[in-house]
Amino acid sequence: MNRTCATLLALITVCILNAQENVRVVTNVVKGTPPAWKTWKASDCGMNYPGTWSMAPGTGDTIANFQSPGEASHATLAVTAKPLAGQTPEQFHQEHGPAQFANSTTTKVIDDSGPDATGSYSFSYVTAVNGAPLWQRQDVVIADGKAYQLIYTADEQNYSENLYMAEAMINSFSPGGGE
């Protein structure tokens, strides 16, 4: 009986320790009133964004640019759409994913989720712009023959402070007219 209990206790402990390795907890204290959210819709996608952030239409492949409030430095989230034009999602990932920085001396990839079953993926990296580090996270959603890139960018302090907002925005993104 004691041996069975000890084995069961050891198994439970291993399961708990294993579960802790795969859990990512993000907490952020919001001072004051949380911002109201607005909805942005384009002809082929949509997303929610904090009411305190500004939104400007993009040009070229960029559909929209969102910017956190503040006077000095900002966090931004750009939404782009690129046609796959005959590329498979794997080929798009190879060309536009972290592999593009393989030989870079100014960019360091921090993490890469790799493509999922739909071809969608995300990765984060730090790059130097005019000698200053710039943190970026790219989430790519493959849908309707397009690769939608959601690119979150900020300096190190703003990156950490606004990451939870950017993740909420990214999680609300919907191809197909925002429906």
Q: Domain of 61: which CATH number?
A: 3.40.1000.10
The answer to whether position 153 is within a domain reads: yes
Distance, CA of 111 to CA of 116 (rounded, Å)? 15
Domain with 104, as residue range(s), is 32-175
DSSP letter at 30 equals P
The amino acid present at 64, given as its one-letter code, is: A
User: Measuring CA to CA, how many Å separate 10 from each of 17, 18, 175?
Assistant: 11, 12, 46
What is the reported pLDDT for 24? 47
Q: Can you tell me the distance from the alpha carbon of 137 to that of 134, in angstroms, rounded to the nearest whole number?
A: 10
Residue-wise pLDDT tens digits, 71-86: 667 899 999 999 998 9
Query: Does residue 61 sit within a domain?
Result: yes
**Tokens (6 digits) for 158:** 């703003």
Torsion angle, CA of 130/132/137/140, rounded to 10 degrees? 10
146 vs 134: CA distance, rounded Å = 27
In a domain, 13, yes or no: no
Report the candidate in 41, 85, 48 with the shortest Cα–Cα distance to residue 63.
41
Q: Using CA of residue 135, residue 97, residue 114, residue 171, what is the dihedral sign? A: positive
- Does residue 147 form part of some domain? yes
Q: What is the pLDDT of residues 37-72, one digit of tens each?
A: 999 999 889 999 999 999 999 999 999 999 998 766
Instruction: For residue 100, tell me if it sits in a domain.
Output: yes
Mean pLDDT value across residues 95-108: 89
Tell me whether residue 53 is in a domain: yes
Q: Is residue 10 part of a domain?
A: no
More confident: 23 or 66:
66
Dist CA 155 CA 132 (whole Å): 8
Strand residue runs (E) in 26-173? 37-41, 45-50, 54-57, 62-67, 76-83, 107-112, 121-129, 132-143, 146-154
Longest dimension (CA), the chain: 71
Query: What is the count of structural domains for the chain?
Result: 1
Average pLDDT score over the chain = 83
